[in-house]
């Protein structure tokens, strides 16, 4: 009996790579329309001040300059709204598309210049004269709140998560372990900067925006609301996207300006930002300061955790609203039993670039904090850190495990997991005892070498829905149309694999259409590692319907009971292999095409999990960390394409290393950003990123979708800072040495000096 070819679980080649490898990619900068005007944004040169005047006359006098907009030209546009976690108390802190009366960060859009080419626009922008009266600058989010405006302070809101009796836990504790920890300000810095091209067609009354990413349908609907148009009169088009990482594709002031200008001028309008603009204007993230305590019993078991933290959100609340601090507070417990828990996150505004999400938002931060706390408990009790973790892990028999609160509008219930099994698997792969013995010998010889370990739980598969439509034309061509987006993560390949195996065709014969609001009426896009889970199951359901429709139609033509038919390698045949068969494309031609659609809904996320091990040594002379081994174990539930999962993890580790060792946006005392080029904002290159060993397991399929899928987009990033910090402590033989990320060379050298002054410490060779 013939069986359909299996594609789910195979590392087949990516479908999306050929145009990129052959130079046929079409990014936002590649979009061209005749007679387009080009926009350049005039940005605030000061961090905080009162706008006194904006004089565009010199710019307007330049040949080729068509217009200069200031706030009065866009005063009818409301502030940009919230997409996630939009608490009502945060609304007064939303950003207008151009500064109104005050500027609140260096890089804030103040005016927009429209010219015949980008070079004229850039020159003209420098001629726009801005007068600003300086106002006091707030840079410390953990200090006393200040004034945002006449009616509001700089503490925009407070996030709180709690379960159990926290006061009783601390009253009954054998000991209390407390830490103060900080995470620096990072950003995604994708290879492709932001860009948007808008065009208005008066004949059809359709406004197009090209260069969309991440959440095209939400951006379409928000633009419609802001511009006073019907959603169906605006269409967004996603081309190729040179990286997203959470910061690309949100609705920014520049996107709205381009669309409003295309409507006003009845001309295509194009805007592409340069790298400096990107560094000061695209969303930042991460910066938090935590004061955390754990109540423990005499054996180091956690009775309760109490965390108060300050989240620096920059100058305004953008589309993500409270998402990052909410996730930090909700996901901090990780894979451990925490009978009593309280987290209070203060959302503070400062005179810095506004913040949003960055790959593993809230979890990179809270995993660093939690794993530092676990290591501190081990040091306080004298119990090995691995054993402390083992004593506190949630048992597999406790699944599903309800944490007692929610995040992103869903109840936080771990769906499945065997955390101890994964930990043991990683320790076996690393040969942890031998690694520890070798490092002890090296330290005895005077070398600063150590190993670190960190565990985490991820969230993925955020709903509430995803919709897919599969169309087979009379020629047999198959289009899988979805409302998700592609940011390079392999959407086309993974969805084609699921569709192909379910339908009974070759995955290479399926064209996946995404990021186009004109092809499907709704969609939630790509974020929160949701695509494979939500779109994958919607794809499976739609493919099942199409397969059933095809077999039903073929049953009549082939005079065979429908239950006796199935599809194998694109041919409709009897399940027993007897009798004639019929090609699926021939059936499509005979019936004039086929189509099916499905919508998968889910009110709960799914929770993959993992652990990282790192071995490193310290070059004390230059304050450099040299990574010798890096091993990741990750349980994906079920991997559609293991190669894609591994690729996501490898890329995530690289970004995690950047945030752990190199990357940080710093500011001068007056609010001037100091990290505005890639010479100042250090990023890991191929030389700094080590070879990473990836162990993918499928021990805990999710019970919340038939394929058992979980997400893979962020597991490579989440615990890197925690694992690196643990390894540095080990190298220095100083528990709790690292309290701040990134561990820059300057900070590392300071730690080495302080470590050498500790009682019983030995100086490294050559010092």
- pLDDT at residue 762, rounded to an integer: 53
Question: Given a cut of 70, is residue 144 above it in pLDDT?
Answer: yes
pLDDT value for 759: 74
Confidence of residue 262 (pLDDT cuts 50, 70, 90): very high
- The pLDDT, as a whole number, for residue 748 is 97
**What six digits make up the tokens of 672?**
């001037």
Question: Which H/E stretch holds residue 114?
Answer: strand 109-115
The packing angle between helices 385-392 and 363-381, to 10°, is 110
Domain 17-25+462-601 has CATH 3.30.365.10: yes
pLDDT of the residue at 760 = 63
**For 465-494, b where at least 16 C-beta lie within 10 A, e where not — what string?**
ebbbbbbbeeebebebbbbbbbbbbbbbbb
Residue 756 has pLDDT above 60, yes or no: yes
Residue 765: pLDDT over 50: no
Q: Is the pLDDT of residue 761 over 80?
A: no
CA distance 84 to 414: 21
Residues 6+ apart with CB under 8 A from 194: 28, 211, 248, 252, 254, 272, 273, 278, 282
- Band (767; pLDDT cuts 50, 70, 90): very low
Reduced to 3 states (helix: H, G, I; strand: E, B; else coil), residue 720 is helix
User: For 623-649, what is each residue's pLDDT tens digit?
Assistant: 999 999 999 999 999 999 999 999 999
Give the β-pairing of 234-237 and 206-210: parallel
Neighbouring CB atoms inside 10 A of 738's CB total 25
Structure confidence by residue, pLDDT tens digits, 562-589 = 999 999 999 999 999 888 899 999 999 9
DSSP class of 175? E
Q: Tell the residue number behind the tokens 């955020």, with chain if given.
A: 462
Task: Read off the pLDDT of residues 209-232 as tens digits, 9 standing for 90 and up.
Answer: 999 999 999 999 999 999 999 999
CB 159 within 8 A of CB 309: no
Give the mean pLDDT of the chain: 96
Q: Are 613 and 430 in contact (CB under 8 A)?
A: yes
pLDDT tops 80 at residue 764: no
pLDDT digits (tens, 9 = 90+) for 179-202: 999 999 999 999 999 999 999 999
**pLDDT at site 385:** 98
Q: What is the mean pLDDT of residues 42-60?
A: 98
Q: Alpha-carbon distance 83 to 321, whole Å?
A: 8
Phi and psi torsions of 382, nearest 5°: 75, 15
Confidence of residue 763 (pLDDT cuts 50, 70, 90): very low
Please tell me the distance from the alpha carbon of residue 702 to that of residue 708, in angstroms, as a whole number.
4
Cα separation, 459 vs 633, whole angstroms: 16
Report pLDDT digits (tens) over 644-702.
Answer: 999 999 999 999 999 999 999 999 999 999 999 999 999 999 999 999 999 999 999 99
**What percent of the chain is helix, strand and coil (3-state, nearest 5)?**
30, 25, 45
- Report, as an integer, the average pLDDT of 1-17: 91
pLDDT tier at 378 (50, 70, 90 boundaries)?
Answer: very high
Q: What's residue 3's pLDDT?
A: 81
What is the H or E stretch that residue 545 is in? helix 536-558
**Nearby residues of 218 by Cβ (< 8 Å), 6 or more positions away:** 83, 251, 524, 525
**What is the SS3 assignment for 737?**
coil
Q: How far apart are CA 479 and CA 499, in angstroms?
A: 10
pLDDT above 70: percentage of residues in the chain: 99
- Top pLDDT among 764 and 684 is at 684
Q: What pLDDT score was predicted for residue 687? A: 92
Strand, helix or coil for residue 394: coil
pLDDT at 618 over 90: yes
Ramachandran assignment for 756, one of left (phi > 0), alpha (psi -120 to 50 degrees), beta (any other)? alpha
In sequence order, the β-bridge partners of residue 631 are: 613, 693
What is the Cα–Cα distance from 45 to 472, expressed in whole angstroms?
55
Name which residue leads in pLDDT, 763 or 92.
Answer: 92
Cα 105 to Cα 130, 139, 349, 350, distances in angstroms = 15, 10, 11, 8
């Amino acid at each position: 009996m013939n069986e359909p070819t299996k594609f789910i679980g195979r590392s087949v080649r990516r479908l999306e790579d050929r145009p990129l490898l052959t130079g046929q990619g079409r990014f936002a900068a590649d979009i061209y329309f005749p007679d387009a005007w080009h926009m350049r944004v005039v940005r605030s040169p000061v961090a905080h001040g009162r706008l006194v005047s904006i004089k565009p006359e010199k710019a307007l006098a330049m040949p080729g300059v068509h217009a200069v907009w200031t706030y009065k030209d866009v005063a009818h546009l409301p502030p940009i709204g919230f997409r996630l976690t939009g608490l009502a108390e945060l609304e007064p802190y939303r950003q207008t598309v151009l500064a109104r009366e005050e500027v609140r960060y260096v890089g804030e859009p103040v005016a927009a210049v429209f010219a015949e080419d980008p070079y004229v626009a850039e020159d003209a922008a420098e001629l726009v004269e801005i007068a600003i009266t300086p106002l006091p600058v707030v840079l410390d989010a953990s200090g006393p709140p200040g004034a945002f405006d006449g009616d509001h302070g700089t503490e925009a809101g407070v996030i709180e998560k709690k379960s159990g009796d926290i006061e009783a836990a601390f009253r009954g504790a054998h000991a209390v372990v407390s830490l103060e920890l900080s995470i620096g300000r990072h950003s995604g810095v994708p290879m492709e900067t932001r860009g948007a091209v808008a065009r208005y067609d008066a004949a059809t009354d359709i406004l197009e925006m090209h260069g969309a990413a991440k959440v095209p349908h939400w951006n379409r609907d928000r633009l419609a609301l802001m511009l006073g148009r019907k959603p169906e009169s605006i269409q967004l088009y996603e081309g190729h996207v040179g990286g997203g990482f959470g910061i690309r594709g949100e609705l920014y002031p520049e996107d709205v300006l381009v669309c409003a200008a295309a409507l006003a001028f009845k001309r295509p309008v194009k805007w592409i930002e340069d790298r400096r603009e990107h560094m000061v204007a695209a969303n930042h993230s991460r910066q938090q300061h935590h004061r955390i305590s754990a109540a423990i019993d005499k054996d180091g078991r956690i009775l309760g955790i109490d965390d108060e933290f300050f989240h620096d959100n920059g100058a305004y609340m953008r589309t993500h609203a409270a998402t990052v601090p909410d996730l930090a507070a909700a996901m901090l417990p990780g894979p451990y039993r925490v009978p009593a828990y309280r987290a209070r996150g203060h959302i503070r505004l400062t005179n810095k670039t506004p913040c949003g999400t960055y790959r593993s938002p809230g979890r990179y931060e809270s995993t660093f904090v939690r794993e530092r706390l676990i290591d501190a408990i081990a040091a306080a009790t004298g119990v090995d850190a691995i054993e402390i973790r083992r004593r506190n892990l949630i048992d597999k028999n406790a699944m599903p495990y309800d944490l007692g609160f929610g995040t992103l509008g869903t109840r936080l219930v771990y769906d499945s997991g065997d955390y101890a099994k994964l930990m043991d698997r990683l320790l076996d792969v690393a040969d942890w005892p031998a690694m520890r013995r070798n490092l002890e010998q090296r330290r005895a010889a005077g070398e600063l070498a150590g190993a670190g370990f960190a565990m985490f739980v991820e969230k993925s598969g955020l709903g509430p829905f995803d919709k897919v439509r599969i169309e087979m034309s009379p020629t047999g061509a198959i289009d899988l149309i979805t409302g998700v987006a592609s940011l390079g993560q392999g959407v086309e390949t993974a969805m084609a694999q699921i569709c192909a195996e379910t339908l009974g065709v070759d995955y290479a014969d399926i064209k996946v259409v995404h990021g186009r609001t004109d092809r499907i009426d709704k969609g939630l896009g790509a974020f929160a590692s949701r695509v494979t889970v939500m779109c994958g199951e919607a794809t499976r359901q739609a493919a099942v319907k199409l397969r059933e429709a095809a077999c039903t139609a073929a049953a009549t033509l082939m005079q065979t009971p429908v239950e006796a038919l199935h599809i194998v390698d694109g041919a409709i045949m009897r399940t027993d292999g007897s009798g004639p068969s019929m090609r699926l494309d021939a059936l499509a031609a005979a019936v004039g095409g086929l189509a099916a659609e499905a919508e998968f809904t889910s009110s709960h996320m799914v929770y993959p999990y993992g652990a990282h091990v790192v071995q490193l040594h310290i070059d004390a002379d230059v304050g450099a960390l040299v990574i010798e081994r890096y091993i990741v174990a990750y349980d994906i539930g079920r991997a559609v394409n293991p190669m894609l999962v591994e690729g996501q993890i490898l890329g995530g580790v690289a970004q995690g290393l950047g945030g752990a060792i190199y990357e940080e946006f710093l500011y001068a005392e007056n609010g001037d950003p100091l990290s505005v080029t890639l010479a100042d904002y250090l990023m890991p290159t191929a030389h700094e990123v080590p070879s990473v060993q990836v162990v993918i397991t499928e021990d805990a399929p999710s019970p919340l979708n038939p394929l058992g899928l979980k997400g893979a987009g962020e597991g490579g990033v989440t615990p890197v800072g925690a694992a690196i910090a643990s390894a540095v402590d080990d190298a220095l033989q100083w528990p709790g040495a690292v309290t701040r990320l990134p561990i820059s060379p300057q900070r590392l050298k300071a730690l080495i000096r302080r470590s050498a002054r500790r009682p019983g410490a030995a100086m490294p060779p050559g010092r």
